[in-house]
Copies of this chain bind each other. A is one copy, B any other.
Amino acid sequence: MNIPTIRPVSVDEIETWDFEADVVVAGFGIAGVSAAIGAAESGADVLVLERTGGGGGAAALSGGIVYLGGGTRLQKACGFDDSPENMKIFLAEALGPGVDESKLDEYCRGSVAHFEWLEACGVSYKESFWSQPGWECPADDSLMYSGGENAAPFNALVEPAPRGHLARVPMPRTGEQGAGHVLMTTLIAKASTLGVRVETDVRVQQLVTDGSGRVVGMVATQFGKTVAVRARGGVVLATGSFAYNDEMMQTYAPRLYKRPAATVEEHDGRSILMAQALGASLAHMEATEVAFFCDPQLIARGILVNGRGQRYVPEDTYPGRIGQLTMYQNDNQAYLIIDEEAYEEGIAAPSSSPQLRHAPTWVCETVAELEAEMGLPEGALTSTVDLYNRHAGKGEDPVLGKKSEWVKPIGSPIAAIDLRGMTGGFTLGGLRTTVDSEVLHVDGTPIPGLYAAGRCTSGLSAWGYCSGISLGDGSFFGRRAGTRAAGS
C-alpha cells in the first residue's frame, strides 16, 4: 500500500485547487458538524470532507449523551439545581488529574448557552429524568446521571446534579435508533439548511502551508484521485481519535491496544500526526475512556472484587469509572459477587444493556466454597464479604461509600460472575488546543489557520471520563473552531 507522507505540502506545489471554501472541515462527526454549523452561522462558505459515504461518525452510533449543566432548561424542568461552579468542581475531580482549567472553565460557564444552541439547531428534549443505574437510558427520558455525580466519592464533594442530556427519541424505538443517531441527523440537517457543502469518500492526507507556515488547505484522496482543497479562512481537523492506529495505541495506550469500543475504524489518528509534522503539541495521550461490559443494574446489587478478592470501587458509580479502575488499577481483574435474590432483582430491572447480563460463572451455598471454586486464597473472599456484611446490616458501606439504597447483606446461594478482561474503550488524548480550538505549536503559539476539535484533540478529560464528555466537548469546541476559523 502506498501511504502518502503525512508531512505538509507547500502551497507552491499545488497547481490547481479542486475545491475551495472559507472553512474546510475534515470529518463529519459531532465535532465536524458543529464546526460546520458554527462557521456557516458566522457567514462562512463551508466545505466538509468526510471519509465515509455519509456523516455521523462515532457519534451517530453512540448513546448520544451530551454532558451539559450549570442549570440548563432541562435540568430545571426536571427539578434539579445546578451551577457552573458545582459542575466545574465535579468535573475537575472526575476528569483529572491534569484537567485544562481554562477549557473546563469556559465549558462550564458556556454550558447553558450551548444547550440552547443545540435546541436552536433543532435537537428536541423530553422533560423527564431517568433515575436508574445504566450505561444509557432504555426509555425516552432526556436527563440522567452519566458520571457518578451521585455516588462516592463525588457525592461528598459537591451537590450532585444529573448532566447527561439525551435527544428525544421516537417511542416505541425501531431497531437500534438511539439518541446519538437522532442528534447527528438533526445537526447534519441543520448544516444542510445553512448551505454547508459535503464531499464524501474523501480521505485527508496532508496539510498545505504557505511560506509563512500558515495552513491554507489540505491534500486528500477521493475515489483514488488526489484532490487539493483550498481553505481561505482555516482548516478544522475533526477526524476523531487514534483508537484504530496500532502504532499509536502501542505507544500511548498499550493497555487498550486491540480493545477498541464505542469507536469507529476511521479513527486512525492521522490528523494528529499531520499536525505534529507542523510542530503541534500534544496532551494527555494516555487518557482513555474504559467501558466495563456488565449491566450496571447487576453491578449495583453486588460487590465487585479484584483478583485478590478485594473491593475497589463503589458499585453504584458510573460504569466507565468502574472500567478505568478495573483496567488501570486492578490489572483488568474483576468478579461480581452477588446473591441469588439480588441477581434476580437486577435481571428484572429495566436496562439499556440487557446483552451485558452475564450468567453466573460459579454458584455456591457458602462464600468459603465460592472462593475455593474461584481459586482464590483461603479466606480472601470470605474476609471481604464478612466485612461488607458487617456494615450492610445497618445499610452502610463505610469502606467504599456505596449508597444505602444498594447496600444489603450478601446471602446464600451466592454467585460470582467472571468479569476479567471485560473492558474496552477509546482514546481521549490528542492535539493541544486553545479555548478557541486553535492548534498549539510546541512553542506555545497557535499554528495559523489550523483548528481542531473532538477526539483528535485533548479536550476536557485528562484521565477520568464521564459519558457525554466527548459529544459535549466535541460540539462545544467544534462550534468554536468553526466560528473562529470563519474569522468571527
Contacts and interface: CB of A to CB of B under 8 A. Distances in A.
A284 B255 CA distance: 12
A309 B312 CA distance: 11
Interface string A396-421: 00111000000000000000000000
Contact of A377 (B308, B378, B398, B432): B398
A255 B279 CA distance: 26
B443 A5 contact: yes
Given A279-B276, A391-B377, A308 B400 contact: yes
Interface string A314-339: 00000000000000111000000000
Count the copies. 2
A307 to B, nearest CB: 10
Contacts of A463: 254
A79 interface: no
Interface stretch (A111-119, A190-198, A358-366, A382-390): A382-390
Interface in A237-284: 250-252, 254-255, 257, 273, 276-279, 281-284
Nearest to A277: B279
Contacts of A285: 252, 282, 285-286
23 contacts: A5-B443, A6-B443, A7-B441, A7-B443, A97-B254, A97-B255, A98-B254, A251-B284, A252-B285, A273-B442, A273-B443, A276-B276, A276-B279, A276-B442, A277-B441, A282-B285, A328-B328, A329-B329, A378-B391, A379-B386, A380-B398, A380-B399, A383-B383
Interface of A: 5-7, 96-98, 250-252, 254-255, 257, 273, 276-279, 281-286, 308-312, 328-330, 377-380, 383-384, 386-387, 390-391, 398-400, 432, 441-443, 462-463
A277 B442 contact: yes
A277 B444 CA distance: 11
Contact of A310 (B273, B310, B328, B462): B310
Given A97-B255, A254-B98, A398-B378, A282 B282 contact: yes
A97 B255 CA distance: 7
A380 B399 CA distance: 7
Contacts of A441: 7, 277
For the complex of A and B, list the 3 residue pairs with the smallest distance between their C-beta atoms, beginning with the closest.
A98-B254, A377-B398, A97-B254
A311 B252 CA distance: 29
B442 A251 contact: no
A96 B443 contact: no
Contacts of A387: 379-380, 383
Contacts of A257: 98
Contact of A281 (B276, B281, B310, B312): B276
Contact of A6 (B311, B400, B442): B442
A460 to B, nearest CB: 14
A284 B247 CA distance: 12
A326 B398 CA distance: 21
Nearest to A310: B310
A292 to B, nearest CB: 17
Nearest to A272: B442
A97 B327 CA distance: 12
A315 to B, nearest CB: 14
A424 to B, nearest CB: 16
Contacts of A278: 279
A98 B257 CA distance: 9
Given A383-B386, A387-B383, A250 B399 contact: no
Contacts of A329: 328-330
A384 B383 CA distance: 8
A347 to B, nearest CB: 30
